[in-house]
Structure 1
């Protein structure tokens, strides 16, 4: 299913390239074509003839960050409703028609955008194009389907209060992001979902779902020249409209320690410690990515996991990350630990000590080289298959990356030095001013 959490590795790899977004992107490689239709629709095509399959992904800049607070969950609900019926097809027909051909079509959303993904055999490319254009342009927003989807959302909203990790992250986001839309959960709240009407869906769709606010990526066994007329046939009649995206509020970095405890029964206590992070265009992005692997994002071999879990036995799970959430808006630095209640204080002290250590002492040569090898090696595994390639095209286009960053990535990582890491740690990690959320006993 096309959700950000399911392409995290791919997104993390691609986000690694974003720090170079300052300059004009290079020309795409020969296997990649870019065409902008008269109505403003951007089309990206990657010819991959390994298998007779195609993947189409449409990205619309219509994420939850553009919805009003009182309608939290609206964007996510609109994206979910895209495949629940069109003006010409019922919800069942939308799904079954492509499934009978051996493919699938799904939709989802995020803070920044909405997505529709369709995969099929190369022989069913015409059908895939027809289906993805129909759900994007002509959703019916059927009232009964909307009510069923709202009930599904409400069920999830009620149950998320039973998951301590979800509770902790939502509470953490409230303090870190303040009035910025990132403080809200994608699926909204009970009261906001209940108050969303069919007219709200229609208006949001009419406002943001326009061709000049959309990128369509196609990867697979296709001929870029032959497919353009087919794309124009399905999308050429989609009328261009003026789109004004709302201005987002600035996020202020905290200057003090904020602590919040949420009492929940359970054998483990969940600790969330961190603060505001960085945007992807930050010039220290690559340095922080290497730092991430050494400190807490490198699995059990990272410092936080190894020292707090394996050596001291203070945590069942421990990790941290600052670059994975970076985007057009600032992400967050978040360290998470699941601990026994009696080890809570010692684990927090140990975590803060690790932050101080990487700020005050150079990392070891072996740590640095291992982190670089891990990042460079894993980058090549993240772009296998048509889905990964289509995602890559979308991210490169949306974030103005250029299409050849994957080839340049090793050079960017290899340039990182011990001195860079210590300097970045002192600048971007703040053990003196952070948000601490504890969920448990």
Structure 2
């Protein structure tokens, strides 16, 4: 019988202990307000213990990352490629989503039913996910079933069946899902916002595509998309859990060693540097609605932008940290205009958007937008984040960071994310230090550079006839329908 040693891969317990002791020390530090106290020392332990992460590159260019963790008899493994929905032709938007769905419906010697039965028999999880920048095959299950999980990964990456009957079935389901989304005001808001900002750029439609683009996809389009992005020199295999690293590497050489490299597709062209150049106001008409969905947005940052750390702290103060954020305090607690308001940066390989979303009754739309815009203007001008706000924003970020690294599987997911975007390998270890180094003047200057309420797009989903007079003071209004 095997006796597992306590996992020494992660140092989460010591991270959380340090944060707890720091908080207790601050609470006992006398009568000075918290913002006058020096920050706690940055905990220096590595997220992954030295030598625990095994990295290799096979001769065909396939990168390998392994993180053994013998604390539980479980294993997770998968394969990620560095391209996603962003490289699709705009007129075939959604082909990647269709491709990744059908990859799960038959690969290698297993058709759709056999694949589902095999996964169910093991109690395993098997899936493929796509976003604008990557596609990720993922599996998880008991360690004793690791060889079968590896077969799933290999076959979906190299030998998907793409049976035409399964393609048509998946397309029908995708179209049905898109059709039902037309009845979801929040989803419509997101779709219209991206169209308003990006137009015919691929970012202008959702990853899942739109009804017209999905209907235009052929079976060959699905196969071609897979062949285009699934190249070993464009991929990373990853695994975490209870396995022997040397033995797994030998199995990977057998499973992927004869996979020939190919040309890596170019990344999507950059969208315009400023979107919109001047204010756009769009109402997506839904006459039956008494509540309206609201978005205010413009261009944001790339995932690799060096300003992303101070930008995340700025966003925490403005609207990204829940009930303590300025927008939530002003629009919900003080004005009673909404139950929820949130801001955020969509970080992609190319610059995504910065946006604020909320909802309110139609009669309260105008004061909600006015207050929202005034808060954005204030944080970039007369009321930049103060010492206490910045301190709280840092604590919020560090706390979420630690909670997001509770298991070897979640650590590996973060490491794969770094690999997909080509970010430095030490980004996890240096994160807390980089958060701690951000200063008030830096955040204040960044707010002026990144936030542009004067030309932001305003998109509203609601009854156009009632909303047009209320929106007129903000500028010319366009009414659209879906």
Task: Confirm or deny a common fold (TM above 0.5).
Answer: yes
Give runs of ≥4 in structure 1 deviating > 3 Å.
Answer: none
Which among 138, 156, 165 is matched to residue 186 of structure 2?
Answer: 165
1:417 aligns with: 439
1:42 aligns with 2:63: yes
SS at match of 1:100: helix
Contact 1:95 1:104 survives alignment (8 Å): no
CA deviation vs aligned residue, 1:212-253 (integer Å, no higher than 9, x gap): 111111111122222110111111122222233255144230
1:145 aligns with: 166
Unaligned runs of 5+ in 2: 1-47, 464-482
Distance in 2 of aligned mates of 1:190 and 1:139: 25
Contact 2:90 2:201 survives alignment (8 Å): no
1:66 aligns with: 87
Contact 2:270 2:350 survives alignment (8 Å): no
Distance in 1 of aligned mates of 2:265 and 2:325: 44
2:448 aligns with: 426
1:274 aligns with 2:308: no
2:44 aligns with: none
- Which has the larger displacement, 247-256 or 78-87? 247-256
SS at match of 1:283: coil
1:401 aligns with 2:437: no
Q: Deviation at 1:126?
A: 1.1
Distance in 2 of aligned mates of 1:379 and 1:202: 38
| TM-score, normalised with respect to structure 1 | 0.90
- Count of matched residue pairs: 413
Q: Deviation at 1:304?
A: 0.2
1:176 aligns with: 197
**Which residues in structure 2 correspond to 1:17-166 (within 5 Å)?**
29-166=50-187
Distance in 1 of aligned mates of 2:258 and 2:298: 46
1:318 aligns with: 341
SS at match of 2:71: coil
Q: Deviation at 1:270?
A: 0.9
1:435 aligns with: 457
Contact 1:28 1:404 survives alignment (8 Å): no
1:291 aligns with: 314
1:207 aligns with 2:228: yes
CA deviation vs aligned residue, 1:313-351 (integer Å, no higher than 9, x gap): 1122211112xx213210211101111111110011100
Closer/same/farther in 2, CA of residues 173 and 341 from structure 1, 3 Å limit: same
Structural RMSD (CA): 1.7
Larger Rg: 2
1:379 aligns with 2:401: yes
Distance in 2 of aligned mates of 1:72 and 1:30: 42
Distance in 1 of aligned mates of 2:212 and 2:191: 17
1:231 aligns with 2:252: yes
CA deviation vs aligned residue, 1:111-169 (integer Å, no higher than 9, x gap): 11211110021111111111110111111101111111001001011111111111111
| TM-score, normalised with respect to structure 2 | 0.83
Closer/same/farther in 2, CA of residues 330 and 246 from structure 1, 3 Å limit: closer
1:5 aligns with: none
- Which has the larger displacement, 177-186 or 70-79? 177-186
CA deviation vs aligned residue, 1:254-306 (integer Å, no higher than 9, x gap): 33110001121223111100101011332322111111111000001100011
Contact 2:271 2:350 survives alignment (8 Å): no
Higher relative contact order (CA 8 A, sep 6+): 1
2:329 aligns with: 306
- Which has the larger displacement, 248-257 or 405-414? 248-257
Distance in 2 of aligned mates of 1:139 and 1:35: 25
